[in-house]
Structure 1
Amino acid sequence: MTISERQAAEHAGLWKADRGQAPHYTAKGFLGTGWTCIACPLDGCDWHHDDPVDRPTAPEELEAMVREHLEGHSAVDFLRSLQAARDAIVATRESNNRAWDVVNLHRLRAIKRGEHPTMDPVAQMLSAALVGTAEHDDVRRELTETSEGVAGAQGIASVPAAERTT
């Protein structure tokens, strides 16, 4: 599968918007009108183009616009961005490993108590979260229900990435 520069820029616009990096956004406003933001995928670059949903720019024009912008970056810019992405992936992997350590500790404690290793509720919830099983939706639902009426706790449950980009 090949991805065009424009598709990468559309993804970058959503990525930056998801992290609150204004002015990058994807919005639906009054009567379903809004904008699709395409943005430079490189870290630290604020270039973007907000394309109106009701009168979108031709795909080949957007592709040319993004390509022209990206040609203004040096190879070092791309390498820095790749290194930052690699560092983020390593940090995420390490975080994931630490969470699995907690799951395994709870499972071992259950075994020492004479229980089945998957009977510990904390290990079950954390394992479901790490693996992404449907059981984690129950955790999100309970978080939402439990947070009702608690000051500052609204919207505390995470939202799956697929739901944020639609």
Structure 2
Amino acid sequence: MNITEKQAADHAALAGMWKADRGKAPHYTAKGFLSAGWTCIACPLDDCDWHHDDPTGRPAAPEALEAKVREHLAGHDLVDFLRSLQAARDSIVAVRESNNRAWDIVNLHRLQAVHRGEHPASDPFAQMLSAALVGTAEHEDVRRQVTELSEDVVGAHNIASVPAAERQGK
């Protein structure tokens, strides 16, 4: 089966949207497009859909890829780069603040346990939230329980979070 340029472009556009929806990095290797692997190099700037899909079976020379990327990036204004970096910084700050608020809840539960004369780690909610925040193996028990409990609830299928490494196929 021959792949036309339009089919390849359609695939690239869909792959770019799929990556953006899943927070993929601008460069990654994927398999699945007609059983061929592709390395995708995408513009890191917000609101820019430019990307280049390179078949892993017959990749372009690294110098050619670098020249293609540099040529594209040269077309952007410095302000575009600064705006994208600021948006990324704002997102990171928002995540950090959210994380801090969650730790406030953990600390509140631990201090309440101390005031009740209990060990600070005796509160099961604080233990679960702490495990989630630091990514311990114990959090996998929470994901398992969410999956089990959601099986019989209409509209609640697949609501357990999926680790980033699994989403990215690592």
User: TM-score with structure 1 length normalisation?
Assistant: 0.78
Secondary structure of the equivalent of 2:122?
A: coil
1:122 matched to 2:120? The reply is: no
1:76 matched to 2:79? The reply is: yes
Query: Aligned to 2:145, which of 124, 142, 146?
Result: 142
| Structure-1 residue corresponding to 2:156 | 153
| Structure-1 residue corresponding to 2:31 | 28
| Structure-1 residue corresponding to 2:53 | 50
User: Structure 1 unaligned runs (5+)?
Assistant: 1-12
Aligned-pair identity in percent equals: 75
Moved over 4 A (4+): 24-27
Answer yes or no: is the 8 Å Cα contact 1:110–1:119 preserved in 2: yes
Query: Aligned to 1:18, which of 22, 44, 55?
Result: 22
The alpha carbon displacement at 1:31 in A equals 6.8
One-letter code aligned to 1:40: C
1:84-137 deviations in whole A, cap 9, x for unaligned?
Answer: 111111111110111011101111111122211111111001101111111112
Cα RMSD of the aligned pairs, angstroms, is 2.6
State the aligned residue count.
151
87 and 59 in structure 1: CA distance in 2 versus 1, 3 angstrom threshold: same
The alpha carbon displacement at 1:153 in A equals 2.0
Secondary structure of the equivalent of 2:155?
A: coil
The alpha carbon displacement at 1:163 in A equals 2.2
Largest Rg, 1 or 2: 2
The alpha carbon displacement at 1:64 in A equals 1.8
User: TM-score with structure 2 length normalisation?
Assistant: 0.76
The alpha carbon displacement at 1:66 in A equals 1.3
Stretch of structure 1 that moved more, 75-84 or 50-59: 50-59
Secondary structure of the equivalent of 1:118?
A: helix
Larger RCO of the pair (alpha carbons < 8 Å, separation 6+) = 1
Answer yes or no: is the 8 Å Cα contact 1:39–1:46 preserved in 2: yes
Distance in 2 between the 1:87 and 1:30 partners? Answer: 35
Distance in 2 between the 1:31 and 1:75 partners? Answer: 38
Distance in 2 between the 1:93 and 1:30 partners? Answer: 37
